[in-house]
Amino acid sequence: MYPGVRRAANARRTPISTVRAIGGITVTAQIIALCNQKGGVGKSTTTFQLGRRAVLRGRKVLLVDNDPQGNLTSVAAADVVDEDQAGLADALSARAPETIRDVIVPGVWPGLDVVPTSGTTLGYVRDELVIAGAGREGRLRDALTAVADDYDLILIDCAPSLDQLTINGLTAAEHVAIVTHSKLFSTNGLAELLKTIDNVRQYYNPALDVAGIIINQHEEKTVSGQTWVTELRTAMATRTDATGNPAPITVLAQPIPKRVSISDATEAARGLDEWGTAEARDLGSLYDDHLTALEGARS
C-alpha cells in the first residue's frame, strides 16, 4: 500500500472523497486549475466565489494564486500580503528556502487558506522556470503534494498565459476548468488552450481531465451571446482529438451572467451569499451548481 493511502485513512477529518492518485502520488484534495490565456474573463472571480461555496459546504479549501498580478490574493487573503512577503514564488523557486507550508496565509473565511502572490517575484520565477532544467513543470505539483492531505479542495487561479506557470498549474491539477467570456474568446484561442492541455497530459500529467467550460459574463439577453453559447456547445459535444477519436468537452450547464453584484461582492472580498440582495444569493446558488459539477468530475 502507498504510504499516502494509510495517511489519508488515518487523517483527523474524514476526507470528502476517496483517495486519488495524481502523477503517481496519492493525495486527498481534489485539485482544480482554472485556466484561460486571456485576462479579464473571470478566472480570479470564479476561483474566489467557487472557493466560497466550498467553504460553505464545510470543505477545507486552499486557493493558489498562480498569476503574477496577484488579484486573487488581494481579495482572498485575510490580511494584506506585503510585497516582500514570501509567497507562491518562493515555494516554486529553487533559489528560495521556503516551502509551500511556510508561505500559506489564512483566507477571509474560516476553512480557507491562500498561497499568496504579491509584488514582482512570481514574474521572476516564471523567467527562472523558462531556463530551468528537467522537472520544472512539476514544481507546483511537488509543492502541493506536501499539503494536499490538509485540504479537501485546492483551486489554482492561473495566469493569463500558456507559459511555465500555467503548465505548472496544469501539471499539478487533477482537473482543469476553462473559464471563458463569450465575447472575447475565439475558437482559435480555445483550440490553443486545449492543445496545451493535451501536451501537458501527454508529457507531464496523464490523469489531467477537462472538467468543463464555465461561461462567464454571459449576456443572456443578446442574440449574439446566445448564438455563441449554442455554437460552443455543439463544437464541444462533437469534438474529436488529434487522432480523430471523440473527445467531447462539457460546457457547464448554466452560464454565469454578467452582473455588477458579482464584481462588487468579489472586489469587496465577500461571497455572494454575504452580499445581502436576493439577486446575489441566486447567483451564489449558481456558483454552487458549478461546484457540484466540478466535484462530480472527480474520477
Ligand X SMILES: Nc1ncnc2c1ncn2[C@@H]1O[C@H](COP(=O)(O)OP(=O)(O)O)[C@@H](O)[C@H]1O
- With CB under 5 to 8 Å by kind, the binding choice for 196 among Mg ion, ligand X, none is none
55 binds ligand X (CB under 6 A): no
- With respect to Mg ion, which residue has the nearer C-beta, 8 or 193? 193
Strand order in the sheet with 153-158: 105-106, 112-115, 61-66, 153-158, 30-35, 175-181, 209-216
Indicate which single residue of 8, 33, 37, 43 sits in contact with ligand X (rule: CB under 6 A): 43
Helix (H) or strand (E) holding 179: strand 175-181
Nearest-approach distance from CB 189 to ligand X, in angstroms: 13
Residue 160 binding ligand X, by CB under 6 A = yes
Containing 157, the helix (H) or strand (E) segment is: strand 153-158
Site string for Mg ion, 22-61 (x = CB under 5 A): ---------------------xx-----------------
Q: Which is nearer to Mg ion, 15 or 51 (CB)?
A: 51
**If binding is defined by CB under 6 A, does position 262 make contact with ligand X?**
yes
Nearest to Mg ion of 137, 157 (CB atom): 157
Least distance to ligand X, CB of residue 32, Å: 15
For Mg ion, the closer of residues 26 and 216 by Cβ is 216
- Residues sharing a CB contact under 8 Å with residue 141, sequence separation 6 or more, in sequence order: 22, 23, 25, 168, 171, 172, 205
- Which residues on adjacent β-strands are paired with residue 216? 181
Instruction: Indicate the DSSP class of residue 163.
Output: S
The piece of 82-90, 95-103, 128-136, 253-261 that touches ligand X (CB under 6 A) is 253-261
Answer yes or no whether residue 189 interacts with ligand X by CB under 6 A: no
Q: What DSSP assignment string belongs to 46-109?
A: HHHHHHHHHHHTT--EEEEEESTT-HHHHHHBSS---TTS--HHHHH-TT----HHHH-EEBSS
* Binding positions for ligand X, rule: CB under 6 A: 39-45, 71, 160, 216-217, 256, 258-259, 262-263, 266-267
